[in-house]
Structure 1
Amino acid sequence: MPWARLSGSPRLDVAIDMGNPFLNLTVDGFLKIGAVAATRSAAEDTYHIIQKGNISSHDFEKTLKKMCKEGVYWGTIAGVYVGMEYGVERIRGTRDWKNAMIGGAVTGALVSAASNNKKDKIAIDAITGAAIATAAEFINYLT
């Protein structure tokens, strides 16, 4: 997948070598998206604390727990998606938007099934995952 970035935007790459490209990509996706989710959670809670006007140790603990929970949840989803997309690429032997679509569908279905949803909801979540991943892939190619 080609890399695109906005002009002047900072870039941080952390390399963790797990000895396997599949594991490397999965861990990288987990860490990057997990950090984004944790940061978003911290910013949201900071805003609410500023609105409230004071902070307690309970607020701090609550924010820290929420950051960890959100980071792990979204990091896991990202890791599964990146791993699925890479696996599909290896199986198909080609790199194109179809890998994103299949990876998104499988990830959406897995996350939905893990949430104990019924068959109809799992199918809808698989379609949603495929649509979002495919759209993101097309947008990435445009930039």
Structure 2
Amino acid sequence: MSSETLRLPLYPQLWDQTSRLLLESANFSVRAWTYPSGVKALSLENSRGKLIILPWQGQMIWSAEFDGVDLTMLNMFTQPRPSASVIGTYGCFMFHSGLLRNGCPGPEDDHALHGEMPCAPMDDAWLQTGEDE
């Protein structure tokens, strides 16, 4: 990490139903809360938009809105749901499929649709900021 990099460890104990400010600067803010469904969320917001990330559920980006445009696909979910597979909470902006056993399984495959990574429980999570090299 460079001297200008900030690393903020995240702990599940910080989350409750109340939106809690974790980090703030002149350029952006970070808030944490738990949806009524029990899924923990983190919002990253600046003057142009906002991302909602699920740090403990596959590090999924649940929604993205920039310049007043919601970039997330239309779906039937009003909030993320705890699920072992992406189908149980389908509708996010972006999820990780992983490197192996991802995508649509063929007849000879035994992996879940889009693999095991999209909703995998995370052991550790952090927020890191800095400048690109």
Query: TM-score with structure 1 length normalisation?
Result: 0.29
Higher strand share: 2
Higher helix share: 1
Computing the radius of gyration from Cα coordinates, the structure with the larger value is 1
Query: TM-score with structure 2 length normalisation?
Result: 0.31
